[in-house]
Structure 1
């Protein structure tokens, strides 16, 4: 599905990147997976429809754009995302703070 001009793959995605697995009001980001350079709403969507070799973003690449705000389409670098305090720096929409519990699935920690 195209969201703000970016291809986002996953299961039952809405216009703000919510998916079958995460679909509350504040679940509105997609993460570009390092291994396949493709946006997915979550790790489970990537497991279902992504590549066969999941890899996390290495610290040396944290300056790259890797997180998409589903509300406005702003792309955050990994550094921006990890320091944004669960809101988009562009439109101020809230992100799910619980996502930080899963950061090891996406980013080198």
Structure 2
């Protein structure tokens, strides 16, 4: 069995809970797009990484970037965003993590009726 990836930051247990989020369902770690390293949360990354975080692009949703702390399965971003529990071991995930998803993953681009992507605040990004 392959070893689990290292999870950096203020990790407090072997299920990837951290000093900031440590309830029974806080069991995932995110591999950050900027450095490729796993951290339990955005606060752990901000404290320990030494560089600004970057979101995974919408077109990178097939990337394995979420680690289940219960079983060690690495999930694609798409699979994680669609799940309320680990598809490998059925351990429940914290549904409130969705409140922070925008810090890790770029949202689906809004499309105007013209078919052109809409940027932030209605501006078209060029």
Mark yes or no: TM-score above 0.5.
Answer: yes
Where does structure 1 lack aligned partners over 5 or more consecutive residues? none
Are the equivalent residues in 1 in contact too, given 2:46–2:52 (CA < 8 A)?
no
Q: Counterpart in 2 of 1:101?
A: 99
TM-score (norm 2): 0.81
Q: Say how many residue pairs are matched.
A: 105
Q: Following the alignment from structure 1 to structure 2, what is the Cα–Cα distance between the partners of residues 6 and 12? A: 13
Q: Following the alignment from structure 2 to structure 1, what is the Cα–Cα distance between the partners of residues 11 and 33? A: 22
Q: Structure 1: which 4+ aligned runs deviate by more than 4 Å?
A: none
Tell me: higher relative CO, structure 1 or 2? Use CA pairs within 8 A at least 6 residues apart. Answer: 1
SS at match of 2:51: coil
Structure 1 residue 14: deviation in Å?
0.7
Q: Counterpart in 1 of 2:49?
A: 50
Q: Counterpart in 2 of 1:87?
A: 85
Q: Following the alignment from structure 1 to structure 2, what is the Cα–Cα distance between the partners of residues 41 and 98? A: 14
Task: Output the aligned Cα RMSD.
Answer: 0.9
Q: Counterpart in 1 of 2:110?
A: none
Q: Following the alignment from structure 2 to structure 1, what is the Cα–Cα distance between the partners of residues 50 and 106? A: 18
Structure 1 residue 51: deviation in Å?
3.9
Q: Counterpart in 1 of 2:60?
A: 61
Q: Counterpart in 1 of 2:24?
A: 25
Are the equivalent residues in 2 in contact too, given 1:87–1:93 (CA < 8 A)?
yes
Where does structure 2 lack aligned partners over 5 or more consecutive residues? 108-126
